[in-house]
């Protein structure tokens, strides 16, 4: 099983791939779009992408790409990874000497309390492990990276501070994307995206299709529709499989109250943190 992830070796996405699959060869890609492209073009068997974090919230680009690539890909799984952040620097670097901290914007946001006290400039970078790789290559002693313990080991960096995430219960939810659906399993989740009609009560009626059937909604996210100003699309995750009669009826009813609705995938539910 070859699985693409965004970032360099040592990234949390790679760790999520190892957590989800019993045996896997990881394939680094620089951007999330490149992960989606690799799967759609069948250059890899699957991709794993972050979709939300318990501290910093949703990863908007992932949601947009799920809709953009829905003709080619489907969600086939999810995994919840506990993310533990470390401040990494060149061996011999003192915490007091750190003037700049590099990492992915999500990681910086998840360590906001610690980094504010450090009073160093926060510099967004494309990847946590990529930041560690850069610090190692440049051999700077006035800069550090927020990344994983594995990144410290891979790039021979020193841990300057441990567990610097603001919330000890810091989890990132990852989705697995593939070209073909996986066999049905219980418990399951189904992810749907829809465009609500532009009239009073449209979202209420759409959500009523689920509520009237006692279907639990686990996630609701809105994103700009990009077709007209101040119009939105809505992403929902629900408990149950799209082939379950109750869920199938709800999706049919949902479509009747929407401009359009697309099932992004039905997949085994990940273990709850």
Helices (H), ranges, the chain: 12-20, 32-40, 60-68, 105-110, 112-118, 128-138, 149-154, 202-211, 245-256
The active-site residue out of 172, 190, 194, 234 is: 172
Phi, psi dihedrals of residue 16, rounded to the nearest 5°: -65, -35
Strands (E) located in the chain: 2-6, 25-29, 46-53, 57-58, 74-82, 86-89, 100-103, 121-124, 143-147, 158-161, 171-178, 188-196, 217-224, 232-239, 258-268
Q: Say whether 74 is catalytic.
A: no
The active-site residue out of 21, 174, 194, 234 is: 174
Q: Say whether 5 is catalytic.
A: no
Positions marked active-site:
172, 174
């Amino acid at each position: 099983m070859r699985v693409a992830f965004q970032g360099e070796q040592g990234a949390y996405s790679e760790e999520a791939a190892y957590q989800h699959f019993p045996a896997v060869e990881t394939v680094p890609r620089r951007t999330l779009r490149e992960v989606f492209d690799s799967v759609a073009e069948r250059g890899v068997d699957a991709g794993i992408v972050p979709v939300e974090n318990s501290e910093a919230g949703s990863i908007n680009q992932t949601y947009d790409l799920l809709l953009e690539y829905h003709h080619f890909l489907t969600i086939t799984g999810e995994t919840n990874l506990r993310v533990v952040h470390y401040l990494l620097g060149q061996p011999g670097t003192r915490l007091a000497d750190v003037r700049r901290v590099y990492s992915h914007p999500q990681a910086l946001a998840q360590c906001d309390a610690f980094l504010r006290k450090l009073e160093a400039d926060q510099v967004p970078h494309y990847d946590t492990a990529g930041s560690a790789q850069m610090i190692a290559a440049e051999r700077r002693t006035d800069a550090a990276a927020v990344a994983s313990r594995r990144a410290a080991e891979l790039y021979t960096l020193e841990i300057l501070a441990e567990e610097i995430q603001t919330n000890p219960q810091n989890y990132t939810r990852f989705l697995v994307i593939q070209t073909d659906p996986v066999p049905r399993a219980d418990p399951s989740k189904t992810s749907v995206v829809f465009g609500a009609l532009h009239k009073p009560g449209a979202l209420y009626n759409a959500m009523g299709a689920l509520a009237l059937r006692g279907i639990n909604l686990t996630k609701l996210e809105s994103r700009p529709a990009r077709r007209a100003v101040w119009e939105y699309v809505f992403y929902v995750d629900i408990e149950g499989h799209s082939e379950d009669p109750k869920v199938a009826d709800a999706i049919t009813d949902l479509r009747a109250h929407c401009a359009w609705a697309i099932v992004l995938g039905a997949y085994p539910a990940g273990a709850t943190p």
